[in-house]
């Protein structure tokens, strides 16, 4: 089998068929996926039915994996990994550790709501994310799509005056800025300490494609050295610009889809579904940036 890459959007996103990730892949296939990711930034691989260990093994081909923060795990309130033995799997579901639908009162339901804000994974860490891979196990009958925005194309389309204004600017990103905006989860002091904010340039050059991309997300609380309100206004303006319909692709999930996105040059958000009535069971891995990638900032 040879990978076949088919574009799904005028600016980014491709479908890759002819690959069975349940088996070890050869170097050519691994390289073809990497090259498609550098060009399209989001790739959809349909019809993969991966066990957690297979998803981890495939993800590791592209770099070290993040272990999700166990928010409020110490208080016993939450613990996002309880369903799985594998610490590298982010449990992007509305299920509790016994496989039942979590109620609205469950703090994990509040935390999950932040994925409905435009974001890029792990922007709140200094060593932020390279790619994420999200695998659909169970999907609801309606809703629960995921939207992606191409922040390279958005940067390219900015007026020159705005490009000049952004030169050298740095934003501060915090997980708790997003939880305060959506869901209302209040972190403990210990959680605040172990998840401090991170700073990243607003415009970053992609280490492989060498294209500039906006690095913005709901986690961005302010712009360093700028009055908070002015910084927030600029961030809101950039997010609005970058999520105009021409820069956005909406993915309607099928069971077995594996979607890979490059967090360095896209944003994404989950869309709502009836989470107290229907199951949405997705599993995610996230590959962290290596030092070589960070140098490109």
What are the residues binding ligand SIN (CB under 6 A)?
92, 115, 121, 134, 146, 268, 270, 282, 284
Compare residues 204 and 284 and give the one whose CB is closer to ligand SIN: 284
Q: What CA–CA distance (Å, rounded) separates 288 from 127?
A: 7
Report the nearest approach of ligand SIN to the CB of residue 130 (Å): 14
Compare residues 141 and 225 and give the one whose CB is closer to ligand SIN: 141
Report the nearest approach of ligand SIN to the CB of residue 92 (Å): 5
Q: What is the DSSP string of 190-210?
A: HHHHHS--EEEESEEE-TTT-
Report the nearest approach of ligand SIN to the CB of residue 117 (Å): 9
Strand 129-138 to 258-262 pairing? antiparallel
Of the candidates 195, 220, 215, the residue with the CA atom closest to the CA atom of residue 296: 215
Compare residues 241 and 253 and give the one whose CB is closer to ligand SIN: 253
Distant-in-sequence, close-in-space partners of 80: CB < 8 Å, separation ≥ 6: 68, 70, 71, 90, 91, 108, 111
Report the nearest approach of ligand SIN to the CB of residue 224 (Å): 25
Compare residues 121 and 262 and give the one whose CB is closer to ligand SIN: 121
Strand 212-214 to 220-223 pairing? unpaired
Compare residues 239 and 282 and give the one whose CB is closer to ligand SIN: 282
Report the nearest approach of ligand SIN to the CB of residue 282 (Å): 6
């Amino acid at each position: 089998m040879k990978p076949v890459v088919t574009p799904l959007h005028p600016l980014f996103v491709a479908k890759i068929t002819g690959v069975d990730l349940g088996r070890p892949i050869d170097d050519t296939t691994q390289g073809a996926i990497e090259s498609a990711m550098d060009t399209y930034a989001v790739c959809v691989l349909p019809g993969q039915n991966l066990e957690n260990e297979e998803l981890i093994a495939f993800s590791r081909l592209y770099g070290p994996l993040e272990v999700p923060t166990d928010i409020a795990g110490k208080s016993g309130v939450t613990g996002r990994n309880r369903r799985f033995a594998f610490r590298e799997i982010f449990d992007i579901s509305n299920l509790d550790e016994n496989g039942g639908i979590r109620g609205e009162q469950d703090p994990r339901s509040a935390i999950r709501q932040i994925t409905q804000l435009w974001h890029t994974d792990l922007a709140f860490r200094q060593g932020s994310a390279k790619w994420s891979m999200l695998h659909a196990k169970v999907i609801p009958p309606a809703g629960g799509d995921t939207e992606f925005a191409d922040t390279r194309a958005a940067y390219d389309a900015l007026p020159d005056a705005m490009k000049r204004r952004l030169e050298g600017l740095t934003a501060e990103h915090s997980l708790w800025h997003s939880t305060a905006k959506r869901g209302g989860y209040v972190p403990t002091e210990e959680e605040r300490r172990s998840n401090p904010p991170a700073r990243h340039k607003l415009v970053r050059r992609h280490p492989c494609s060498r294209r500039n991309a906006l690095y913005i997300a709901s986690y961005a609380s302010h712009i360093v050295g700028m009055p908070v309100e002015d910084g927030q206004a600029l961030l809101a303006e950039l997010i609005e610009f970058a999520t105009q319909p021409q820069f956005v692709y909406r993915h309607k999930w099928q069971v077995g889809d594996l979607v890979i996105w490059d967090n360095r040059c896209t944003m994404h958000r989950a869309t709502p579904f009836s989470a107290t009535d229907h199951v949405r069971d997705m599993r995610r891995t996230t590959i962290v940036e290596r030092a070589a990638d960070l140098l490109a900032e």
